[in-house]
């Protein structure tokens, strides 16, 4: 019969419902019922080509059908065939079942290319991947976020190059210093580590054989007359310029470039969001009949709103184009979608069964495939039973969670959003919403809608409370996992713990000048002492009374302290006539007027009860930084005096360097200075084998004992092969230092393994956090991407940039008695930055950041070239279904949130530490350029088409980048305030900072004087005071520029935080709107256009135009029009028979103890419909 317009409208409506879209797609593409459009429906001779297209056609975008997965129609067919009454799975056949596998794989590869960033070659009819040099503007077709990301990388690389140029003077000053070669402890370190530390503040200035006081007065270099403290303020100014340049770039990128690119893309393309608003806070249920007409009532409400805005009746009536309601599915959409996957695996098992029979395989194998088919079918049916309650509810009776309203013109949308804007900021503001704006007396929350393709319909029916609970749960798990990683890396530290330099208890304390001719470290110096005062307190308080000890000089008999002129308290202020002179003053090894005692002339203090000497005050005739005195602690039990001399219990001649603990040399700076007494940390004095033997007899530990530790350290340095297992086992050093060598080797392995572990943990965290974020049930893909980006960023940043810094910190028993102390948290080697910190911890930090940067840009390319093909080969070796082959050959997703997070980590690492490691700027520039090309390669050559990323992700990243400057300033203030590294005078903000940290300058001097020479126990006692003193150092002149910027940023972000907390108040939201208008006015005044102009064409015209061109743009918020959820839509119309469900339940009852809870509870609602005929029967795909 002849095709009429009414027949075609009925046919099109039916095809939409059952999912057969081939004819409808053709009709849309040609916009007329041409011969090609009805070829499959009827005889071409019977076609009335003059019948116009149905108006219904223009309600859907071509993307809803032309871009649907090829598997959708196939799965719909499987539903009806596999579960048709009387159909046996083993009897089903398909023409593709026995096709050559090579042919299927070829089709799968073509399918993968078509789904990637490809273009259609009209000459061959095949899709080809885009070239690598594709312009960024062309990549914008996959979402403006993709274009912005690559521009962000390129501009950032140029920025780091500019910052590196500004940092060249700093690097010159750092490299021209000799500080690393001026001290024995740094001179002997690894050459590679020293080379990296040479371009850091650890090498700034020159100070050959100087003490802490001289460090603050050192010169720029050995040949320079310029003092370092005159240059450090200039370094601070240069660092400020670098921060300002970075902030200007961020402001330009966020406030100008992102809106500009988004405007260009917005004006070039018509999208659903151009016409749509999102409406929340709707009543979930209306009275019965009204609820079934919910969409019409809501449309009428917004028609009335348009009329109230001044639009005419006819204009307002036609102004609302579409209302799409968000229905309550109780989270079942994802289950509906999973049915399709089960059906695909069912079809795969069917093909394997047929191939096994065709190839004559063993009956056991055939039965296994047959059983697998039944199991998959069983799972689908059980899933159907679990969704029984949802199937009973008709679409019109479901509760409403929200809605999307599309207007015919964009000005209508803008006017409605502006009308609702005062009440959109908070729940409090909505309480004063005017009655005409309310819907059924419910205040509405109206905002700009996202793109239709950005929606996650499976999560839209989750309420705000459930969403927050899931988000909190996933965030808690994520934080717990991150803390576990931090604790693991801290526990498996690569940094050695701090050496215990605490003063020990001795009953015989010796003070002397070592003989020698080299003039180094006090050797061969002349000591002329007038007065001494000993104390067990760190601040030299409560000194020992002279009556409590005896004094012995050389071989003279001991005398009471009150009778010795060194301790009578009469010569502290006047030292013109010294009361004791060392033997070196006479060019001999004996003390004048005291006789010979071994090889040393000395002053010894003997007490009855051993005590720990912690502070010493000395008045000397020729004091000064170069004048040094040696200190040793001994035990009288080891000393046996006879006529020949002093011997120990074994008959060995007693000597200071073998039988006593030698402490750190003391510079004699005057009686008013407090000299802390601590053990030597860096093992300068040579330890011989006699001292080792005595140390072993005394029970010293080879890892922590002062003599054995130094002996092993010196032996390994002299013969590195001692670290090789089995090398020279008969050697004394090898036997003695076995535990020490094991500890050193273990530390080296952990140092390398720690870097590798960081990289591995980062990749694990990326996968785990991405999976956890998906459980947060976000409403849009953009919200999910934002959450993933922030969480992944913090996880990687902590692992990469923070952990190694924390590992090196020594917080001096701050966490004693807590869980953290068991994990060795705060048990590092350094309580402050120093040249040694830059060589050890700083170098490790630099290596870790560099390795992370290399992995970040190399991993995507390596995945595309090796890992992904390998995974595809492994997973498809035994796959025969064309649909599963297509699915498994699909290119991996290119996740923008992951890429932005990893790049943001490198940006933060570079910026935070760049003040002390200027080479990081160069590393950052190289990384950005390499990452630009590697990510572009991974996207174009090895990834599927991105899901239309918006500007939101890059805007969020840009808003986080100023915090890199804030952390940079905090780190800079701490380092530049260190007088050991950056000596400078006090700045103008000293008084302000004194009040801020509650410490005066006098107290600062006292604390720092005690702390600099103190042992580990004294440092633990004064650590809180030392922390405050170091905070006062930020008021130094070298810090003044950075300090001002730091305070300004703190004030700004404090204001933003308070503003955010008060935003629910209507007055604050109004103020926010006014500030936004002022900002837009300013941009317009300087001719910066960031807002896209309104679309001129109407929604209906846009749909028709796009349909004619066949452009894949979704211009509908209808759930059924979204190709991503076609599986769920088809599953809703799937009707397995009652017998099939009962059969599945019987099998479940026989195999599972839990299935007894399942019952059908009456006829299947959809099955009942099919039996009674009260409702329209679903039409099969064969109609």
Q: Is the pLDDT of residue 421 over 80?
A: yes
Q: Is the pLDDT of residue 1031 over 80?
A: yes
Neighbouring C-alpha atoms within 13 Å toward the C-beta of 718: 10
Q: Is 511 helix (H, G, I), strand (E, B) or coil?
A: strand
pLDDT score at 389: 66
Give Cα 1011 to chain centroid, integer Å: 36
Of 390-399, 489-498, 630-639, 651-660, the one with minimum mean pLDDT is 489-498
Confidence of residue 31 (pLDDT cuts 50, 70, 90): very low
pLDDT score at 97: 60
Query: What does the alpha-carbon distance between residue 47 and residue 39 come to, in Å, rounded to a whole number?
Result: 9
Give Cα 212 to chain centroid, integer Å: 39
**What is the pLDDT of the chain when averaged over all its residues?**
78
What angle, rounded to 10 degrees, do the helices at 843-862 and 896-913 form?
160
Q: Is the pLDDT of residue 762 over 70?
A: yes
- Cβ atoms < 10 Å from Cβ of 233: 20
Q: Is 35 helix (H, G, I), strand (E, B) or coil?
A: coil
Of 265-269, 347-351, 453-457, 565-569, the one with minimum mean pLDDT is 265-269
Going by C-alpha positions, the residue among 413, 310, 263 that lies closest to residue 1098 is 413
Across the range 17-45, mean pLDDT stands at 41
Q: Is 6 helix (H, G, I), strand (E, B) or coil?
A: helix
**Structure token pair of residue 416:** 């409605």
In the chain, the N- to C-terminal Cα span, in Å, equals 17
- Exposure pattern of 357-392 as b/e (b: 16+ CB <10 Å)? eeeeeeeeebebbbebbeebbbbbbbbbbebbebbe
Of 71-75, 879-883, 1135-1139, the one with minimum mean pLDDT is 71-75
Confidence of residue 756 (pLDDT cuts 50, 70, 90): confident
Task: Give the model confidence (pLDDT) of 73-84 as tens digits.
Answer: 566 666 666 655
Highest mean pLDDT among 314-328, 886-900, 1031-1045: 1031-1045
**Structure token pair of residue 1181:** 């795909």
Give Cα 700 to chain centroid, integer Å: 44
Going by C-alpha positions, the residue among 448, 449, 447 that lies closest to residue 426 is 447
Task: Give the model confidence (pLDDT) of 541-557 as tens digits.
Answer: 888 888 889 988 766 67
What angle, rounded to 10 degrees, do the helices at 258-268 and 952-960 form?
180
Backbone φ and ψ of 730, nearest 5°: -85, -5
Q: Is the pLDDT of residue 1003 over 90?
A: yes
Going by C-alpha positions, the residue among 776, 965, 751 that lies closest to residue 245 is 965
Neighbouring C-alpha atoms within 13 Å toward the C-beta of 67: 21
Across the range 660-685, mean pLDDT stands at 84
Query: What does the alpha-carbon distance between residue 220 and residue 229 come to, in Å, rounded to a whole number?
Result: 9
């Amino acid at each position: 019969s002849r095709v009429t317009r009414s027949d075609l409208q009925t046919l099109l409506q039916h095809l939409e419902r059952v999912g057969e879209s081939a004819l409808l797609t053709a009709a849309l593409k040609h916009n007329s019922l041409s011969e090609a459009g009805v070829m499959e429906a009827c005889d071409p001779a019977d076609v009335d080509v003059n019948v116009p297209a149905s108006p219904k056609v223009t309600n859907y975008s071509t993307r809803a059908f032309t871009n649907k997965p090829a598997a959708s129609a196939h799965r719909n067919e499987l539903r009806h065939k596999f579960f048709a009454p009387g159909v046996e799975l083993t009897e089903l056949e398909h023409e593709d079942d026995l096709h050559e596998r090579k042919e299927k794989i070829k089709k799968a590869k073509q399918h993968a290319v078509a789904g990637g960033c490809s273009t259609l070659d009209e000459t061959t009819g095949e899709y080809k991947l885009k070239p690598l040099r594709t312009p960024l503007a062309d990549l914008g077709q996959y979402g403006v976020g993709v274009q912005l990301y690559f521009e962000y990388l390129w501009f950032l690389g140029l920025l780091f190059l500019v910052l590196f140029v500004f940092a060249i003077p700093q690097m010159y000053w750092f490299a021209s210093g000799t500080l690393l070669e001026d001290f024995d402890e740094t001179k002997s370190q690894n050459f590679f580590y020293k080379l990296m530390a040479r371009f850091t503040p650890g090498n700034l200035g020159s100070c050959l054989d100087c003490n802490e006081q001289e460090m603050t007065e050192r010169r720029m270099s050995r040949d320079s007359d310029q003092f370092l403290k005159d240059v450090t303020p200039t370094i601070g100014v240069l660092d400020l310029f670098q921060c300002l340049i970075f902030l200007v770039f961020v402001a330009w990128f966020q406030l100008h470039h992102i809106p500009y690119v988004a405007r260009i893309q917005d004006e070039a393309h018509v999208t659903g969001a151009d016409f749509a608003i999102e409406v929340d806070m709707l009543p979930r249920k209306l009275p019965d009949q009204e609820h079934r007409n919910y969409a019409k009532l809501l449309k009428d409400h917004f028609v009335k709103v348009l009329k109230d805005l001044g639009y005419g009746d006819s204009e307002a009536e036609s102004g609302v184009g579409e209302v799409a309601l968000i229905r309550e599915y109780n989270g079942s959409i994802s289950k509906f979608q999973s049915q399709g996957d089960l059906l695909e695996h069912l079809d795969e098992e069917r093909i394997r069964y047929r191939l096994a029979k065709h190839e004559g395989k063993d009956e056991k194998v055939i039965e296994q495939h047959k059983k697998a088919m039944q199991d998959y079918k069983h799972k689908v049916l059980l899933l159907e039973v679990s969704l029984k309650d949802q199937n009973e509810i008709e679409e019109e009776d479901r509760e409403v969670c929200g809605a999307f309203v599309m207007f015919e013109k964009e000005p209508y949308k803008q006017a409605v959003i502006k009308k609702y804007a005062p009440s959109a900021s908070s729940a409090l503001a909505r309480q004063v919403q005017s009655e005409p704006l309310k819907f059924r007396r419910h205040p509405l929350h109206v905002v700009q809608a996202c793109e239709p393709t950005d929606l996650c319909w499976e999560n839209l029916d989750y309420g705000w409370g459930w969403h927050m609970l899931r988000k909190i749960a996933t965030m808690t798990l994520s934080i717990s996992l991150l803390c576990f990683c931090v604790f693991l890396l801290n526990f498996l530290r690569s940094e050695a713990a701090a050496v215990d330099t605490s003063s020990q208890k001795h009953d015989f304390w010796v003070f002397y000048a070592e003989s020698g001719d080299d003039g180094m470290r006090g050797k061969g110096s002349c000591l002329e002492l007038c007065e001494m005062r000993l104390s067990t307190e760190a601040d030299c308080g409560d000194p020992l009374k002279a009556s409590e000890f005896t004094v012995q000089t050389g071989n003279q008999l001991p005398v009471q302290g009150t009778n010795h002129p060194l301790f009578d308290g009469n010569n502290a202020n006047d030292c013109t006539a010294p009361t004791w002179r060392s033997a070196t003053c006479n060019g001999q090894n004996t003390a004048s007027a005291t006789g010979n005692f071994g090889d040393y002339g000395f002053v010894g203090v003997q007490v009855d009860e051993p005590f720990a000497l912690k502070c010493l005050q000395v008045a000397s005739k020729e004091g000064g930084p170069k004048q040094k005195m040696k200190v040793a602690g001994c035990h009288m039990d080891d000393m046996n005096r006879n006529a020949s001399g002093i011997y120990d219990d074994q008959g060995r001649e007693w000597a200071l360097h073998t039988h006593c603990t030698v402490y750190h040399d003391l510079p004699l700076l005057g009686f008013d200075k407090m000299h802390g007494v601590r053990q030597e940390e860096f093992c300068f004095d040579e330890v011989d084998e006699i001292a080792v033997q005595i140390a072993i007899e005394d029970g010293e530990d080879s890892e922590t004992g002062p003599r054995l530790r130094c002996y092993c350290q010196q032996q390994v340095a002299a013969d590195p092969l001692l670290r090789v297992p089995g090398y020279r086992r008969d050697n004394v050093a090898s036997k003695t230092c076995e535990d020490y060598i094991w500890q050193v080797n273990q530390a080296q392995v952990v140092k390398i393994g720690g870097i590798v572990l960081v990289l591995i943990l980062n990749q694990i965290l990326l996968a785990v956090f991405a999976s956890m974020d998906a459980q947060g049930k976000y409403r849009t893909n953009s919200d999910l991407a934002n959450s993933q980006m922030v969480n992944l960023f913090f996880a990687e940043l902590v692992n990469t940039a923070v952990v190694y810094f924390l590992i090196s910190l020594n917080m001096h028993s701050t966490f004693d008695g807590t869980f953290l102390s068991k994990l060795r948290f705060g048990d590092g080697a350094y309580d402050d930055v120093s040249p040694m910190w830059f060589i050890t911890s700083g170098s490790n930090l630099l290596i870790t950041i560099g390795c992370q940067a290399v992995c970040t840009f190399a991993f995507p390319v390596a995945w595309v070239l090796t890992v992904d093909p390998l995974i595809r080969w492994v997973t498809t070796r035994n796959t025969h279904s064309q649909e599963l082959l297509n699915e498994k050959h699909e290119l991996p997703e290119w996740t923008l949130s992951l890429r932005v997070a990893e790049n943001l980590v490198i940006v933060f690492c570079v910026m935070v530490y760049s003040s002390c490691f200027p080479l990081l700027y160069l590393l950052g520039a190289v990384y950005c350029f390499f990452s630009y090309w590697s990510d572009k390669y991974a996207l174009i050559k090895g990834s599927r088409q991105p899901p239309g990323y918006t500007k939101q992700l890059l805007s969020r990243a840009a808003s986080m980048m100023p915090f890199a400057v804030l952390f940079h300033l905090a780190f800079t203030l701490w380092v530049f305030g260190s007088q050991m590294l950056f000596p400078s005078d006090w700045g103008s903000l000293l008084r302000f900072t004194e009040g801020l940290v509650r410490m005066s300058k006098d107290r600062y001097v006292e604390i720092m004087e005690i702390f600099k020479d103190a042992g580990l126990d004294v440092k633990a006692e004064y650590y809180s005071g030392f922390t405050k003193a170091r905070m006062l150092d930020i008021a130094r002149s070298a810090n003044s520029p950075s300090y001002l910027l730091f305070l300004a940023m703190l004030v700004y972000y404090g204001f933003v935080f308070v503003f955010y907390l008060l935003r629910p108040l209507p007055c604050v939201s109004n103020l926010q709107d006014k500030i936004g208008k002022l900002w837009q006015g300013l941009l317009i005044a300087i001719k910066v256009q960031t807002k896209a102009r309104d679309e001129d064409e109407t929604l209906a015209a846009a749909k028709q135009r796009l349909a004619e061109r066949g452009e894949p743009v979704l211009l509908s918020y209808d759930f059924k029009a979204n190709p991503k959820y076609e599986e769920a839509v088809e599953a809703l119309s799937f009707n397995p028979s009652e017998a099939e469900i009962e059969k599945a339940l019987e099998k479940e009852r026989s195999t599972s103890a839990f299935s007894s809870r399942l019952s059908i509870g009456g006829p299947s609602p959809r099955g009942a419909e099919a039996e009674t005929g009260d409702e329209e029967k679903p039409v099969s795909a064969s109609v």
